[in-house]
């Protein structure tokens, strides 16, 4: 069954009535086509009204929707071939980060993404999408491998943050992320980074230094989540909505502040409503950007990448 968020509840009732009407028409062989068409139109209009006026907190909720496509879903839908590669060659493999060689429409590249989970068992296995240091070191190993064989790199970002456990800190969580930032600036191949869900803190930034940094329409990208910001400022999670508004963390905010390069549209109602449509759009954007970046010389691409990030946060009076 479809999961409805709080602000989608008005639609839920109409869609329930629509299903009942379709079932009744089928069981009794009665023509309700006019009434069904009218109700479908009302649902579409209501959906437009709701999703054209979303608050920042509502977009955060959409980015966490349990039916939203994750990295593995995109791999299955857009890749003609995918060979997963494991391990950081130091500690172990980290299931929170998936990486491997992908082939899409004849274009091969290294695909690296953070993966959450659909059920309790999967979430525990994937550590809720929170990578350990070995996850970031695995990602860097695969990036260096891509550079060696002159393959573009695509990263899919969806994490509530890097794992904050004591064992992660003991194995050098901060160093692993910092090294990724430094090394990603100097990669000689095109790098495309796409926020497909949550983009929280250094956990996201650890695989997000690229020539093109893009966000799906209903995602967020920030140094801290609205709940944790609220907890710090107000000593309670009750002010998360105000925190989200103040932090300006949505794709539109990021684009306006020149922190990302573009926004990828989602189907009306969110990516979770049509995985196939969303995957095709993501595929189109990836291939277009790889083609554009491939036309730029390696050193020019590196210089542009560095200049872009160095310009962030600079105030010109």
| CATH code at position 183 | 3.90.226.10
> Would 315 be classed as within a structural domain?
no
Residues 172 and 46 in one domain: no
pLDDT digits (tens, 9 = 90+) for 28-50: 887 778 888 888 888 888 889 99
> Would 317 be classed as within a structural domain?
no
Residues 91 and 41 in one domain: no
Residues 49 and 109 in one domain: no
**CB atoms < 10 A from the CB of 184, how many?**
23
> Using an 8 Å Cβ cutoff, are 135 and 143 in contact?
no
- Strand residue runs (E) in the chain: 81-84, 97-104, 107-114, 153-159, 191-200, 212-216, 220-222, 262-264
Q: Check residue 192 and give its pLDDT.
A: 98
Range(s) of the domain holding residue 77: 62-310
Residues 39 and 188 in one domain: no
pTM score over 0.95: no
Residues 14 and 163 in one domain: no
Q: Check residue 286 and give its pLDDT.
A: 97
Residues 235 and 262 in one domain: yes
Q: Check residue 196 and give its pLDDT.
A: 98
Question: Domain total for the chain?
Answer: 2
Residues above pLDDT 90, as percent of the chain:
81
Residues 70 and 181 in one domain: yes
Q: Check residue 78 and give its pLDDT.
A: 96
**CB atoms < 10 A from the CB of 160, how many?**
21
Q: Check residue 123 and give its pLDDT.
A: 95
């Amino acid at each position: 069954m479809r999961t409805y968020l709080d602000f989608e509840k008005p639609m839920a009732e109409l869609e329930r009535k629509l299903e009942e009407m379709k079932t009744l028409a089928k069981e009794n062989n009665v023509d309700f086509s006019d009434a069904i068409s009218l109700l479908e139109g009302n649902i579409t209009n209501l959906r437009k009204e709701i999703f054209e006026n979303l608050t920042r907190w509502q977009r955060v909720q959409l980015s966490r929707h349990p039916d939203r496509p994750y990295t593995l879903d995109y791999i299955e839908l857009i890749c003609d071939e995918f060979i997963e590669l494991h391990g950081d060659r130091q500690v172990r493999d980290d299931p929170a980060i998936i990486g491997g060689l992908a082939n899409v429409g004849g274009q091969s590249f290294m695909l690296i993404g953070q993966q959450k989970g659909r059920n309790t068992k999967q979430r525990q296995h994937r550590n809720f999408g929170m990578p350990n240091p070995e996850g970031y070191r695995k990602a860097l190993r695969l990036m260096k491998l891509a550079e060696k064989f002159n393959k573009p790199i695509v990263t899919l970002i969806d994490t509530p943050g890097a794992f904050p456990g004591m064992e992660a800190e003991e194995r050098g969580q901060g160093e692993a992320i910092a090294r990724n930032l430094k090394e990603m600036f100097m990669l000689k191949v095109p790098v495309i980074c796409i926020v497909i869900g949550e983009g929280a803190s250094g956990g996201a930034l650890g695989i997000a230094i690229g020539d093109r940094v893009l966000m799906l329409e209903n995602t967020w990208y920030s140094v801290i989540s609205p709940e944790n910001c609220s907890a710090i400022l107000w000593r309670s999670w009750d002010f998360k909505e105000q925190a989200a508004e103040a932090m300006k963390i949505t794709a539109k905010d990021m684009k306006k502040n020149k922190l990302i390069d573009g926004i990828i549209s989602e189907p009306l109602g969110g990516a979770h409503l049509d995985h196939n449509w969303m995957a095709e759009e993501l595929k189109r954007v990836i291939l277009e950007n790889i083609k554009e970046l491939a036309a730029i010389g390696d050193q020019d691409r590196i210089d542009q990448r560095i200049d872009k990030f160095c310009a962030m946060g600079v105030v010109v009076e």
